[in-house]
Amino acid sequence: MTVTENSVVAPPAARTSPTVPDELVATHRRYLMCEPRYFAVQYAINPWMDPSVPVDTDLAVRQWRSLADTYRRLGHDVLEIEPVDGLPDMVFAANGATVANGRVYGAKFKYPERTAEGPAYLRWFESADFETTHEAVFTNEGEGDFLVVGNRLLAGTGFRTDPAAHREAAEVLGLETITLHLVDPRYYHLDTALCVLGPNDIAYFPGAFSRESQAVLHALYPDAVIADADDAAVLGLNAVSDGRNVVLPQEASGLAVKLLARGYRPVPVALSELRKAGGGPKCCTLELRA
């Protein structure tokens, strides 16, 4: 089932928002990541990218390793895909596919600079013995624009992902799919403007969405954490939650305070180099859901 922003969406049943840390429990996760061995900003396909600004690849690798080690310290598994020379954005593993219910919906990138990443990630899944993999017909950029929230798939469009891919993803993954329209080019992927905190809980920046999509989000998640423009501007919402711990950019201090007040444990990390290409913790992290 696919629901668009023009549909009437009934709000979910009332629930109690978490207020103290003891009410939240982290669950074990498996993540796929790709070392930024060949990371560079050689072209500009989003407003964050400026090829004239120097990039320190060694620092990017160190920051990435710290992120991977953070996940491991939190008790999660980190698997790695081998980077490919000539694909500087392959570090952004979240864009490589969407995985839910043990099924893999492959990515099909909008820009030719990233086209080869889709097949590279799909080959990894096939070699890793994922039984159900689907090569996308329609343009989509994986978990950049598809976020799993419980049994629901929030699906972004406006800059990268074809709305037809929302229907395709719904069929492949077997999830109810909600279409959301992004309107600010700085937030070109859904995961730059919205973070999944738990199976019924999200954080998001309203200014990234059309007014109709804001209404849909409010109806579905009336208790959502609302980020302000300052935290969104440092990609604070490009964060990864295990249901208790939220790994987010260290600059998003205001959002960290809000999360702490809601019972989450903010875990700040430094990813300044990768942000030069428009990426944060979530961009680097593809969750492998059984």
DSSP string over 53-99: S---HHHHHHHHHHHHHHHHHTT-EEEEPPP-TT-TTTT-GGGGEEE
Catalytic residue of the set 34, 166, 189, 195: 189
Catalytic residue of the set 76, 166, 181, 283: 283
| Three-state DSSP class for residue 16 | coil
Q: In the sheet that 132-134 helps form, which strands lie side by side, from edge to edge?
A: 97-100, 103-106, 132-134
79 and 67 Cβ atoms separated by less than 8 Å: no
For the question of residue 283 being annotated catalytic, the response is: yes
**DSSP character at residue 150:** T
67 and 271 Cβ atoms separated by less than 8 Å: yes
For the question of residue 195 being annotated catalytic, the response is: no
Rg (CA), the chain: 17
The residues that are catalytic are 189, 283
